[in-house]
A and B are shown apart, each in its own frame.
Chain A
Amino acid sequence: MQGKAGYFVGKLIELLVTLLLVSLLVFAAFSIIPGDTARVMLGPDASQAQVDLLRAELGLDRPLVIRYFSWLFGLFTFNPGTSYAYNMSVGELIAQRLPVTIGMSAVAMIMVILISYPLAVISARKPGRAGDQICSVIGHILFAIPPYVASLLLILLASSVFSLMTAGTYVKPSDDFAGYIGCLLLPSFAIALPKIAMSFKFLRSSIIEQRTADYVRTSKSHGLSDLKILVRHVLPNSNVSSITIISIILSDILGGSLIVEQVFNLPGLGRLLLSAISRRDFPLLSGIVFYLAFITVILYFISDIAASLADPRIRLK
């Protein structure tokens, strides 16, 4: 059916246009910021000739448009310049730090899904009963705790009260994968907590709504068991609306991990970002910002595609 292919092609074009706009915004933002990078790097005592030389070396003397396109080309070949501060390729720097941020976000997301789904299903079975009420109250409390506060509390609990771990240790995935996941568990949980509450609340109301839908009554009249109705009809239908929420949660988690990394002293993108800001390392900064935006846009793209796969009404107009 042409509608299906057309939908995907349309979404792909949307994705590319969005990415171009993002790159333009990022580039414009860092070009507008006042201050001469070469002057900052060389210090106030350097002569104008030295500064000009460095400018030429960094390519800062070229016209803006050419600089943008060479930067853009660099972005898509994963080589958007060299960091002033680290004197290393930006791509390499980001690649080093990415496993921490991505790993933490992934573990947090898995926690959100594994915990909120069963809770929502149980809660929605008998809305208004004691179990449901307790879950809702706990949800409200969790929802109100910001991840960095949760991190501090968790560190306190895990390292001081129960002596389970030493805060601030990090194991590389290439050294010991189990250890890598282990050191990410606590920070991931700190990010996941409020998101679990959010996803739980949303899923719960969506399941309750779907349970009273007409097609559930039809399925009952066909003699289907409650479990079958839940798994085959209610959950898929509530997923359609949840997919959008899940993608929002995922991008929230990504943002949250930048902060929690600081608290747990993990060498992720968040720390790199902060040091890039404090050292006016524009190539690194713009690289990080763009790639984070890139990941977010891709996530939304995936969620759109997933939503259309889940709902034939979007796919086959």
Chain B
Amino acid sequence: MTRHIHIVKVHLLTLAFPTGKDPDPKPVLDDVDFGIRDGEILGLIGNSGSGKTMTSLAIAGLLPEAASITSGSIKFAGKDLLEMDPKERRAMLGRDIGMIFQEPSTALDPLMTCGKQLEEVLTAHKDLKMTPEERHKAIMDMLETVGFDNAEELFSRYPHQLSGGQRQRVLIAGAALLKPRLLICDEPTSSLDTVTTVSILALLKDLCHKLHITILFISHDLSAVRGFCDRVMVMKDGRIIDRDTASDILTNPRNSYTAELLTNARLDTRILGFEPATVDYSRSPVLTAKGITAGYKRSLFERVKKNGGDEAEDKNVLHDVSLEVFPNEILGLIGGSGSGKTTLIRSLLGLLPHEGTVNIRSSSTGAIFQDPVSCLNPAHTVKWHLTEALRASGKKTAGTLKERRERTYARITGVLEECGLGEEYLLRRPNELSGGQRQRVAIAMCLIQEPSLIIADEPFSSLDASSSAELLKIMTDINRERNTAFLLITHNIHIVRKIAPRVIVMSNGRICEEGTTAEVLGNPRSEAAAALLEAERLIHGN
């Protein structure tokens, strides 16, 4: 095969989703034109809905059935992909083009062992003619390459027995198994914690050098491409609006939109205007938790079978956790995945049986969760959600039905406006909102109950940088103006540093460090805090 400088050449690609009602809709990709050079790592950055995933799917030939390419061409190593018949293109998948996706937890078949799924990559390409032993060896080698010491053991594991980072490694192994020339990575790290992200990025870089794989790296986080990508392109509304070498784009953005993305990614407090309220620590705390020990209960049978006391100890996820949240305070709670953060929240909210006491002073506590998609009822409108939340708060008001209705309406629109959504959103359903907007509705549902404490469990992890920045702004505004305290759980240290005056670090179900943010993050005493900081430094730079 002749060597091309550009392994992939996308020429003036336009793509739309025509429907019966609207045969000529606004294109999702609009004259996209770029090349991927052989052996490089090319970053493709943009907010959600900018068209970056559609671009990658178009190259891989995995576009949804409704999509239609109206003009342009995609060439892979000189061959026009759009001219090929589907069978030929499918044969290229896995062999010439590998792909990994955002959500490693669902990207593997839960019923099949990892080894079997990897083997399918090899058996799918019939012309390979490998013996079972050769296949097994190829898989073992690749599993070792992606960093598994216990490849043999992993081969017979099911996906649910692996952590998120391990699953992503298995997926990378599958994508790289046939040593494709191009590896498309669609947000491979956005659902992983910082420490895992660093290791996955290092692995990808390693693959690029060792196996000479060209990588197209798609992300919504501009800062994640630092030190990883050679070149970066920025997409907005289906167009590529900026392209440059990674270092130039990060240090000296020429395009105003790129600059905005950078600002959002860095969460620059001066520009974005985050001003959390000042906290008076002499006042009595809004939430006091003492000696919380909790775990996931075993079934009755399991408990009867082995009534050993020491085994029961092992099942606990939390061990003797105590914390206080003061009025007006934004308390950061950080820790790697599996450190017990979410279990703690569930205990605090009374969703999980636990030992120890939880004392919440205020009448109501709000909660926002990680996944705004599954938190809202898809069948109902924003207005219904807010009315329901208001009713649940149980605050009855006097007056006739009409008066009450008007008052409810006024409160709903007021709260919604505070969360940055206009009246026009009242009748929308969750699937008509973006991730950031859904998270705002979730906050509005808390706010309408006028809580003095809002517990937010990883509210940013599914949002892009701009939406995160906007959400943070809303949260600090609420904190300042309404004197609402926040308990903010996140694995993003960057955010904690910007807005939380005090921080708690959790590791292995225990609080391992506690103090003012400057103190803890400036001079970490515990290993867990140091590891989190190191990972953050590698990704975001300092």
A residues adjacent to B (C-beta < 8 A): 6, 10, 13-14, 213-215, 217-225, 228, 232-233, 236-237, 240, 310-313, 316
**Interface of B (DSSP majority class):** mixed
B107, A222: Cβ atoms closer than 8 Å? no
Q: Which residues of B have CB within 8 Å of A214?
A: 101, 103, 106-107
**A6 — which chain B residues lie within 8 A by C-beta?**
301-302, 305
Closest to A226 in B: B90
Contact B107 A218 (CB under 8 A): yes
The smallest C-beta distance from A115 to any residue of chain B, in angstroms, reads: 25
Which of B117-125, B242-250, B329-337 contacts its partner?
A: B117-125
* A214-B109 Cα distance, complex, nearest whole Å: 8
Residues of B within 8 A of A225 (CB): 90, 124
Pick the contact of A223 from B112, B121, B160 — CB < 8 Å? B121
Residue of A nearest to B62 (CB): A220
Please provide the 6 A-B residue pairs with the shortest distance between their CB atoms, ordered closest to farther: A223-B94, A221-B99, A214-B106, A223-B93, A10-B301, A215-B109
Contact A223 B158 (CB under 8 A): no
Q: B111 in the interface, Cβ–Cβ < 8 Å?
A: yes
Closest to A228 in B: B124
Contacts of A218 in B (CB 8 A): 99, 101, 107-109, 171, 174
Scan B179-218; emit 1 where CB is below 8 A from any A CB, else 0.
Answer: 0000000000000000000000000000000000000000
Which residues of the other chain, A, contact B98 by a CB distance below 8 angstroms? Answer: 221
- The residue in B171, B299, B301 that gathers the most chain A C-beta atoms within 10 A of its C-beta is B301
CB-based contact A312/B160 at 8 Å:
yes
B299 pairs with A223, CB closer than 8 A: no
Q: Besides A220-B93, A223-B95, 17 other CB < 8 A contacts?
A: A6-B302, A6-B305, A10-B299, A10-B305, A214-B107, A215-B106, A215-B108, A218-B99, A221-B175, A222-B175, A223-B93, A223-B94, A225-B124, A236-B111, A311-B111, A312-B111, A312-B158
- Contact status B107-A215, CB under 8 Å: yes
Distance in angstroms between the alpha carbons of A217 and B62 in the assembled complex: 8
B267 interface contact, C-beta 8 A? no
CA distance A170 to B499 in the complex (A): 82
How far in angstroms is the closest Cβ of chain B from A5?
11
Say whether B158 contacts A313, CB under 8 Å.
yes
- Report Cα–Cα, A316/B161, bound state, in Å: 8
Report whether B101 and A217 are in contact in the complex, using a CB–CB cutoff of 8 Å: yes
Contact B112 A233 (CB under 8 A): yes
* Residue in chain A with minimal CB distance to B106: A214
Q: How far is the CB of B115 from chain A (nearest CB, A)?
A: 13
Shortest Cβ distance from residue B378 to the other chain A in the assembled complex, whole angstroms: 14
Do B161 and A221 touch (CB < 8 A)? no
11 contacts between A and B (CB under 8 A): A13-B301, A214-B103, A215-B107, A220-B62, A221-B175, A222-B93, A228-B124, A233-B109, A233-B112, A237-B111, A311-B111
Asked whether A232 lies within 8 Å of B106 as measured between CB atoms, the reply is no
CB < 8 Å A-B pair total:
91
Q: Complex: how many Å from CA A13 to CA B299?
A: 14
Contact between chains at B94 and A221 (CB < 8 Å) = yes
Q: Report Cα–Cα, A161/B26, bound state, in Å.
A: 60
B302 contacts across to A, CB distance below 8 A: 6, 10
Shortest beta-carbon distance from B158 to chain A in Å:
4
* A218 CA to B172 CA, complexed, in Å: 11
Q: Are A221 and B62 in contact (CB under 8 A)?
A: yes
Residue of A nearest to B116 (CB): A232
* Cβ of A24 to closest chain B Cβ, rounded Å: 20
Chain A residue at smallest Cβ distance from B95: A223
Q: Chain A residues near B78 (CB, 8 Å)? A: none
> Which residue of A has the minimal Cβ distance to B113?
A312
Binary interface encoding of chain B residues 129-163 relative to chain A, with 1 for a CB under 8 A from any of its CBs, else 0? 00000000000000000000000000000101100
- Point out the residues of chain B lying under 8 angstroms from A237, CB to CB: 109-111
Cα distance A233–B116 when bound, in Å?
11
How far is it, in angstroms, between the C-alpha of A236 and the C-alpha of B120 when the chains are bound? 15
Q: A221-B99, A223-B90, A223-B125 are in contact. Are A313 and B305 (CB under 8 A)?
A: no
A283 CA to B138 CA, complexed, in Å = 67
**Is B91 engaged at the interface, CB distance under 8 Å to the other chain?**
yes
Closest B residue to A216 by CB, please name it.
Answer: B109
Given contacts A10-B299, A213-B106, contact A223 B171 (CB under 8 A): no
Q: Are A222 and B111 in contact (CB under 8 A)?
A: no
Residues of A contacting B110 with CB < 8 Å? Answer: 215, 237, 311-313
Chain B residues, CB < 8 A from A311: 110-111
Please state if B111 and A219 are interface contacts (CB–CB under 8 Å): no
Which residues of B have CB within 8 Å of A228? 120, 124
Q: Identify which of residues 372-405 in chain B touch chain A, using a CB-to-CB cut-off of 8 Å.
A: none
Query: Of the candidates B91, B95, B107, B120, which one forms a contact with A217 in the assembled complex, judged by CB atoms under 8 Å apart?
Result: B107
The answer to whether B175 and A219 touch across the interface, beta carbons within 8 angstroms, is no
A219 close to B101 (CB less than 8 A)? no
- Residues from chain B with a CB closer than 8 A to the CB of A10 are 299, 301-302, 305
Query: Which of B95, B103, B107 is the most central at the interface, judged by chain A CB atoms within 10 Å of its CB?
Result: B107
Query: Whole-angstrom distance between the alpha carbons of A233 and B109 in the complex?
Result: 7
B124 contacts A222, C-beta separation under 8 Å:
yes
Q: B92: CB under 8 A from chain A? A: yes
Shortest beta-carbon distance from B143 to chain A in Å = 16
Is the Cβ of B158 less than 8 Å from the Cβ of A316? yes
Q: Considering the chains assembled together, what is the distance between the CA atoms of A13 and B111 in angstroms?
A: 26
CA distance A225 to B403 in the complex (A): 62
Within 8 Å of chain A (Cβ to Cβ): is B60? yes
Min C-beta distance of B104 to chain A, whole Å: 9
Task: Report yes or no: B121 in contact with A222, Cβ–Cβ below 8 A.
Answer: yes
A213 to B97, CA, bound (A): 21
Q: Which of B91, B92, B160 has the most CB of A within 10 A?
A: B160
